[in-house]
Structure 1
Amino acid sequence: MLEKGEFVGSLDCGTTSVRFIVFDKYAQIIAQHQLEFPQYYPNPGWHEHNPLEIQAHAEACIEETVKSLVAKGFTKDSVKVIGITNQRETAFVWSRKTGKPLCNAIVWDDSRTKNLVAHYEHILHNKGLEISPGVWKKGQEAIDALPPVFHYRLYFSATKVRWMIDNYPEVAKAHENDDMCFGTLESWLVYNLVGGVKKGLHVSEMSNAARTLLFNTATLSYDPALLKFFGLRQSIVGDVVSTSQIYGHIAAGSLAVYLSCLTKGEAKCTYGTGGFLVYCTGNEIVKSGHGLLSTVAFQPGPDAKPVFALEGSISSAGSAITWLKDSMHMISSSSQVNDLAAQEPTSGGVYFVTAFSGLLAPYWDSSATGMMIGITQYTNPSHLARATIEATAFQTRAIIQSMNLKVDGGMTNGDLAMSIVADINGTDVIRPEMRESTALGSALLAGSAIGLFGWDLTRPETLSEVNTKGTMIFKPEMSDNIREKRWANWQRAVERCRGWEAGIDEEEEDLLG
C-alpha cells in the first residue's frame, strides 16, 4: 500500500536542461529527473530555444519524477505544491488566440540585439527625434528612477521582443492585431501548466518581470512609459504577481531566490551556464556605482514587502567548461575539468577571458570577445583547463571584492574550482552538501505559500533546519602578494579583449559569415 507523504516539488528550467526535484522538509532530495533540451545557434552570437520543446521536457520530467516517487512507495498527491525556478531574461512570445509560440525564444545570452541596444542608448543620451517629446518625457522619468547601469542590459528581454517584431512578420502581425503575449520562461510554463489557451492565465513573477527593462522597481509594476519607449503594447505583458502564491495547480517562483541569501547582508553566487552573484539588501533598493544591478530578489507573498538585491552577472561560467568539452574536445565530461586542471599547480601564466558573448558586470562591454593570452610552448591542456576555472573566479572578484561567499550550481561540485575561487577572491567560500539551492529556493517559496512544514519566508528562523547538513568551507591559501599580482594580470588581459568586435571591418565580417 502506498504511503501518503508531504513533499514539495521544484521545476528547475535552466539554460540547457530541465529538472524536476522533490524535497522533504529538511531539503533532502526524495526523487528527481533531468533532461537536456536542444540548443539552437542559427548565426554567430545567436542563441535560441524552442518553447514547445522546453514545455515537453518539463512535463516529461514531472511525469518521470512522479513515477519514481510512486516506485518508492509514495502516492502521487504526496507532492503538495510545485515551485518554478528558471533562466531569466529569455524572451518568449506566443499567440493569445492559439496559445502557440510565434517564434523561437531568444535566450538571455544572445547578442543579436547589440546594435538595437546602441540605438536606444543613443536616444537616451541624446534625446533623439525617434520618439515624441511627450513619450520621451514619461519614458525618461521612468528610466531615471532606475539605476544608471539599467540602460546597459544587453541580455534583458525588451530589446529581444523589439527585435522579434522588427524581424519576424508573424510576430509583427500578432503585435499589430493585439494577438501577442510576451513573458519570460516562468510565464510560458505557468501559462501551459494551468491550462494554456483555455484558461488564459498570463502572469509575470515579480523578480522575473524586473529583468525585462519594462518593470519599474519604484511602482513594482510594468511601466506604461517604458513599454511606449520600446514601442510595445501594454497588453503583451502579464499580471505581475508575487514569488510565493498559488496559481491554479502550480506556484510560481524565481531563479533570483536563493536559500542562503534571504537575509540582508548575505551574498550568494550560482555557477551554472553563467554566474549570478546576488547580495541581499533587504527591503530597500540600493543603487550601485560599480556596475551592479539593483533588482527584486523575491516577494514572499502578495501582501508582503519585496526583498531587493544587488546583482552582478558573468555570461560564461559553466558554458566555458562546456566549450572545452564540445568544441575543443579536451575533456569528455564537464566534471573532468577539475582532474585535468589539478595536474598543474598554476595556469602557467595563461589567462582566459571567457567573453563568448561579451563581458557583463562590472565591465558591460558587448564588443569584448573571448581571448587567451600568455600561451607559450610550455602551455599544455592542464594549464588551459585551470585558466578556464580561474576566469570565473577572476570575474567573481571583479563583481564583489570582499565578503564570505556562499555558492551553488553544477560548477561548484569540484573542490579545486572552489579552492581557486577562495584563493583569487581572498575570501571564504561556503558550500552546502545539497547544492541545488536554486531549485530549493523555489520549493521554499512554494511551500511557504501554503504554510507547508511551517515555512514562512518572512520569518527566516522557520527555515533553521533546512539544508544545514554537510556545509564545507574553502579558505584562501594563496599569498596576498601573488593574489594581487595575478589580479593585475587579469585586468590587463580584460583590457586587451575589450572593443575587439568594433575593430572587425566589413571584409572580415563577410569571411566570418
Structure 2
Amino acid sequence: MVVTASPLFDSSSENIVPLVASIDVGTTSSRAILFNRLGQEVAKHQIEYSTTASKDKKKNQSQQKRPSVVGSVDMKKSVTEDQIFSAEGIAIKENEYLKIEELTDDVAEPTLRFPQPGWVECNPMNILTYVVECLATTFNTLDNLNKERSENNLPLYKITCMGVANMRETTLVWSKKTGMPIVDYGIVWNDTRNSKLVTDKKNATPEDVQQRLKDKTGLPIFSTYFSCSKLRWFLDNEPTVMDAYEAGDLMFGTIDTWILYSVTHNNAFVSDVTNASRTGFMNLDTIDYDEELITFWNIDPKKIHLPKIVSSAEYYGDFNINDCLYERLSENGKTYIERHRKCHPSIPLQGCLGDQSASLVGQMAFKPGSAKCTYGTGCFLLFNTGTKKLISKHGALTTFGYWFPYLNGEEQSQPHFALEGSIAVAGAVVQWLRDNLRMFPRAEDVGPMASQVKDSGGVVFVPAFSGLFAPYWDQDARATIMGMSQYTTASHIARAAVEGVCFQARAILKAMSSDAFGGDGDKDFLEEVSEEAYEQSPLSTLAVDGGMSRSDEVMQIQADILGPCIKIRRSPTHECTALGAAIAANMAFKDEKDRLLWKDLKDVKKWVYYGGHEKGDQIGADELNLKVFESESSDEERRSHWKLWEAAIERTKGWLSATEGL
C-alpha cells in the first residue's frame, strides 16, 4: 500500500504524524488531550471531580426516590445517579473518554470540598493523580491507534511535546524536603476565607500605596482572589505551614508549579508569567518578584521558596513520575505508564499558560485589539494589548496574555499583555432558570426559547446574584428583573437573562476600549467613533468559547448588542484552553524546523481555521472551521436597549446597603 501525503503528514518528519499533548486542570476537572495540526482531538481523557456537596447529595438520593428535576447545589455541580452537571450547566455522563470521580469507603474525601460557607478547597494529590491517570489513558489510546495505523501502513502518531493549562490563583504549599503537601488541601481561587484579612489590610493601607501596588501588579490586590493573601492566611492559620516557613522548608506555588514540579525529571520549580502575574508578588515591568509586594504581606522572601518566573514557551523538563505518585495510580494507569516508559522516548514539558490566557491563545486572539470571551459559570474577557502594558482606569485588570520568546520578530517574541474583566454570572443564570424556575429541562434549550420572541418585550434582567463585577464593582448589588407586564412570557424572561449576560460583556468591552483609546469612560467607543476609526479600532474581534457560545441564537444576540464594529468569531474547538497550552508547547522549540505542527502563530491559524489553506484561498464551506456572527440590529434599536440596560444597572446597585437595618 502506498501512503500518500496528507495535511497532517510532513515528509520531513521521519514518516510520523506529529501530535502535541496538553494537560488542562480546571476548577472542576482534569483532562489530557492529544492535538494534531488541524487542532483536532486525536485522543482525550477527562476526570470530573466529585465534591462534598455532590457526596451529600448522592447519599441523600440513595435514601429517596430520584427527583424529576435536579436542584442546583453550591459550587457548580449537582449529581444524579448517572450524570453530573458541568460548570456551564451541561448534563454529562460517563463514557470511555470521561470518568466521574467515584466516592467510596476507601476514597471518602472528594477532590473539591467546602468545609465552611465561602471556603473552597482542593486536594493537591488527587489533582496530580488524575492528571497522570488522564495522560496514561491517552497514551494507551494512542498505542491502540498506532497499532491500527501500522496494520494499514499509515504513518504513526508521535507526541512531540507537552503543555499545561491550569486554573489560576489557587494556592498550594509543600515541603522542599519531601516534595509532599504540608497540609492536605489547597485554597481554590474563588475561596473567600481571607476576606477579613484583605479588608483589614486595605483599611490600614494609604491610598497612594494602594495605587503604587496596583501599578506594579496590574491587580486590585485587596481582593480575595489572588494568591498573596491566601498564602498569608496559610501562615496565620496552619501551624505546620508556619513551622515549615520558619525552617526554610516551605515551597509555594500555584497549580502550574505543582504539576511541573511533580511530573518533570528535574522537579522543575517554575511558574510562567501568566500564572505568576496573578499571585500579587510579581512586578509587571521587571517580570520578577518585587520585594515590596512580598514584604507588604509580612513575608520574608528568604524564608520561603518561590518558583522561578519563566516564559510560557520554553523547556522545563521531561515527563516523569516518581514512585510515590506511581503507587497512587489505578492498575490500568500503572500498566499504561509502564508501557509508555518502555516504548516511548521522553516527552518534553515546555508550554504553560493560566487558563484564561490559554483560552486567548487557543482562540487565536494574537492580534493586538482582538479579545476573547469564555462563557462558563461566569464570563472571562481578555483583550490583547500587545507589548503595551495598560493599567485600566475603568475597572479591568492588567495581566499577561502569553510570552513566546523564540518566535521570529522582536515584537512577536516579547511578552504580550492583556486587559481582563470578569462577569460573576453567565451560565449560572441559565442553570437558575432551569433548576429554580424549571423553565426548560436542559441548559441548551435557553437559546431556542429566547429566540421565540424578537426582543425581551421591555424586560431587563440584571443577573447580579452575588454582586456586580467589572466594570461596575458593586458587591451590594443583587439580581433584579425589571419591566415586566401582563404581556411578559417565559420566553421574554429567558431572552432578558441571555441579554443580561451579553450586556455585561459589552460593558467590559466598552471599558477596555476606553483604556485602549485613552478615553475617560464617558464616551462609548463602540458606538461613537467614525467609520475610519472602526478600521483602526484597537478592538475589532471577539473570539468566544464555552457553554453558552455553542448556541447560535445566544451568539447572534451578543452580536446584535455589540453592534457593527465588532465581529464575533466562535472557536472551532470546544477545548480551546487545552489547545492554547498545546500551541505554547509547540512554540517552545528554538529552531523553527523542530516545530512540526505549526511554524509560527500565523501557521496555527492557517491549519486550525482554514484546514491548511491560505486565508485568501477559495475554500469550501466544509473546509472552513470558523463561524462568524455580525450585528443585525439597527443603530436606534441597539442604542435604545443599551440605555435601558444602564438605567436598570443604576436601580440594581447598592441594594444590600440600601436595605440594611430594615
Indicate the TM-score class for this superposition, using the shorter chain for normalisation: 0.7 to 0.9
Please list, as runs of the form range in 1=range in 2, the aligned pairs for 1:70-469 lying within 5 A after superposition: 70-73=143-146, 78-98=158-178, 99-100=180-181, 102-125=183-206, 143-147=214-218, 150-151=220-221, 153-194=223-264, 200-234=267-301, 235-249=304-318, 250-254=349-353, 255=355, 256-257=357-358, 258-259=361-362, 260-301=364-405, 304-325=413-434, 330-374=439-483, 379-401=488-510, 402=526, 403-426=540-563, 427-450=566-589, 451-453=594-596, 455-457=598-600, 460-461=602-603, 463-468=605-610, 469=624
In structure 1, distance between residues paired with 2:427 and 2:350: 28
Deviation at 1:218, TM superposition (A): 0.8
Instruction: Return 102-111 or 4-13, whichever deviates more.
Output: 102-111
* Cα displacement string for residues 16-72 of structure 1 (whole angstroms, at most 9, x for unaligned residues): 222222111121221222222134344444333332332233222222222332332
In structure 1, distance between residues paired with 2:187 and 2:457: 38
Instruction: Return 117-126 or 233-242, whichever deviates more.
Output: 117-126
Is the alpha carbon distance of 1:280 and 1:362 closer, same or farther for their aligned partners in structure 2, counting shifts above 3 Å? same
Instruction: Return 389-398 or 86-95, whichever deviates more.
Output: 86-95
**Does the aligned pair in 1 maintain the 2:146–2:157 contact within 8 Å?**
no
RMSD: 3.1
In structure 1, distance between residues paired with 2:458 and 2:222: 32
Is the alpha carbon distance of 1:173 and 1:476 closer, same or farther for their aligned partners in structure 2, counting shifts above 3 Å? same
**Does the aligned pair in 1 maintain the 2:369–2:541 contact within 8 Å?**
no
* Cα displacement string for residues 297-336 of structure 1 (whole angstroms, at most 9, x for unaligned residues): 1111389421112222223323333444455555444323
**Does the aligned pair in 1 maintain the 2:379–2:426 contact within 8 Å?**
yes
Is the alpha carbon distance of 1:212 and 1:325 closer, same or farther for their aligned partners in structure 2, counting shifts above 3 Å? farther
What secondary structure does 1:32 align onto? strand
**Does the aligned pair in 2 maintain the 1:152–1:364 contact within 8 Å?**
no
Instruction: Return 367-376 or 76-85, whichever deviates more.
Output: 367-376
What secondary structure does 1:365 align onto? coil
What secondary structure does 2:544 align onto? strand
**Does the aligned pair in 2 maintain the 1:298–1:308 contact within 8 Å?**
yes
- What is the aligned length? 490
State whether structure 2 residue 133 is matched by structure 1 residue 60. yes
Deviation at 1:440, TM superposition (A): 1.4
**Does the aligned pair in 2 maintain the 1:373–1:493 contact within 8 Å?**
yes
One-letter amino acid of the structure 2 residue matched with residue 394 of structure 1: F
In structure 2, distance between residues paired with 1:346 and 1:93: 51
Deviation at 1:476, TM superposition (A): 1.5
One-letter amino acid of the structure 2 residue matched with residue 122 of structure 1: N
In structure 1, distance between residues paired with 2:482 and 2:447: 21
In structure 2, distance between residues paired with 1:242 and 1:34: 27
1:131 corresponds to which residue? Answer: none
Instruction: Return 207-216 or 226-235, whichever deviates more.
Output: 226-235
Larger radius of gyration: 2
2:75 corresponds to which residue? Answer: none
What secondary structure does 1:464 align onto? helix
**Does the aligned pair in 2 maintain the 1:245–1:446 contact within 8 Å?**
yes
Unaligned stretches of 5+ residues in structure 1: 128-135, 509-513
Is the alpha carbon distance of 1:103 and 1:292 closer, same or farther for their aligned partners in structure 2, counting shifts above 3 Å? same
Deviation at 1:230, TM superposition (A): 1.2
In structure 1, distance between residues paired with 2:488 and 2:113: 33
Is the alpha carbon distance of 1:158 and 1:504 closer, same or farther for their aligned partners in structure 2, counting shifts above 3 Å? farther
TM-score of the two chains, using structure 1 as the length reference = 0.85
In structure 1, distance between residues paired with 2:476 and 2:391: 25
What secondary structure does 1:155 align onto? coil
What secondary structure does 2:42 align onto? strand
Unaligned stretches of 5+ residues in structure 2: 1-14, 51-111, 150-155, 319-348, 408-412, 511-525, 527-539, 611-623
What secondary structure does 2:233 align onto? helix
**Does the aligned pair in 1 maintain the 2:260–2:267 contact within 8 Å?**
no
In structure 2, distance between residues paired with 1:218 and 1:330: 50
TM-score of the two chains, using structure 2 as the length reference = 0.67
Is the alpha carbon distance of 1:342 and 1:63 closer, same or farther for their aligned partners in structure 2, counting shifts above 3 Å? farther
**Does the aligned pair in 2 maintain the 1:434–1:467 contact within 8 Å?**
no
1:132 corresponds to which residue? Answer: none
Instruction: Return 315-324 or 444-453, whichever deviates more.
Output: 315-324
Is the alpha carbon distance of 1:405 and 1:248 closer, same or farther for their aligned partners in structure 2, counting shifts above 3 Å? same
Is the alpha carbon distance of 1:454 and 1:57 closer, same or farther for their aligned partners in structure 2, counting shifts above 3 Å? closer
In structure 2, distance between residues paired with 1:392 and 1:152: 26
**Does the aligned pair in 1 maintain the 2:37–2:597 contact within 8 Å?**
no
Is the alpha carbon distance of 1:10 and 1:410 closer, same or farther for their aligned partners in structure 2, counting shifts above 3 Å? farther
What secondary structure does 1:400 align onto? helix
Deviation at 1:504, TM superposition (A): 7.2
1:498 corresponds to which residue? Answer: 653
In structure 1, distance between residues paired with 2:448 and 2:646: 27
Is the alpha carbon distance of 1:41 and 1:462 closer, same or farther for their aligned partners in structure 2, counting shifts above 3 Å? closer
1:488 corresponds to which residue? Answer: 643
